[in-house]
Structure 1
């Protein structure tokens, strides 16, 4: 079984992390790069490394040193639009830790990496002391994404149930670890 190290990304990791992210949006999402949704992928340093309340984690395969997974957290709540206004109000920026870019290369899936990365992000959010909620949204069309998030959090809005299906995404709240706010 492969061995992985989870750590905070450094500037030297950004090209490899960006590659994991772009491969995921092209392969798994089928959207490719969309600037209004993926600006953080192009400039992860500004989005995650240059802000003390944000972080970008990487999982490194200890066998070859390759970055094989990413996970990020920032203090931006869901924006309205495109998300429902009530959801943006429930998870305001500054008080909400939003989980983003939890992506694992296909050859490294089913090794517990996403769960380990999310655990590290939740610890980061709790240690911050200023977050009152952890939020994320996912595309249920990505294989395994919805069941994974359901195993960690609770659904607060399933847009597929809205008139017209909304944007078709599922919104989750994930509990803070013990000791969090």
Structure 2
């Protein structure tokens, strides 16, 4: 059985974290790198490591010493557009901890890594004291995502059903902070 260390990303982890994130956008989402959506992946340090209210956690395979999974948090709420206006109003920047880049390499899935990383980010948000809500969005075709997020929170908007034309097909969630 493999052992993993869950920790805040160090300078030594950044390249491995970037690789996990890029693999996900190419393999799982099929979009590849899109600069306006993925600038934080190319250079995660100013987005998640440097700002004091942001975090980038990694799960490191202790045997191989490689990053197996990532999860990030920042204080940016969902923007309108592209998201529905009511979400931007409900989850304002500065008061909202947004979960981002929760990705697990295929060979390390089904071991609870995403949940452990999210638990770490929720503890980070509680300790911060300035967040009043936790928000995230996901794509339904992302492997394992809907099951995890439904187990942890509630759907606040399913664009496939609530936005004319299906919007971007994104499902938006709120995760309890307490």
Is 1:122 equivalent to 2:122 in the alignment?
yes
Q: CA deviation at 1:69?
A: 0.4
Gaps of 5+ in 2: none
State the secondary structure of the residue aligned to 1:103. Answer: strand
State the secondary structure of the residue aligned to 1:60. Answer: strand
Is 1:34 equivalent to 2:40 in the alignment?
no
Q: CA deviation at 1:106?
A: 0.3
Match of 2:136 in 1: 136
Is 1:49 equivalent to 2:49 in the alignment?
yes
TM-score normalised over the length of structure 2? 0.98
Match of 1:80 in 2: 80
Match of 2:4 in 1: 4
Match of 1:172 in 2: 173
State the secondary structure of the residue aligned to 2:177. Answer: coil
State the secondary structure of the residue aligned to 1:70. Answer: strand
Q: Measure the CA separation in 2 of the matches of 1:138 and 1:169.
A: 6
User: How does 1:82-161 map onto structure 2 within 5 Å?
Assistant: 82-161=82-161
Q: Measure the CA separation in 2 of the matches of 1:143 and 1:67.
A: 18
Q: CA deviation at 1:143?
A: 2.4
State the aligned residue count. 177
State the secondary structure of the residue aligned to 1:73. Answer: strand
| Alpha-carbon displacement from aligned partner over 1:102-157 (angstroms, at most 9, x marks no partner) | 00000000000000000000000000000000000000011221111111000000
Give the ranges of 4+ consecutive aligned residues of structure 1 lying more than 2 Å apart after TM superposition: none
Gaps of 5+ in 1: none
State the secondary structure of the residue aligned to 2:93. Answer: coil
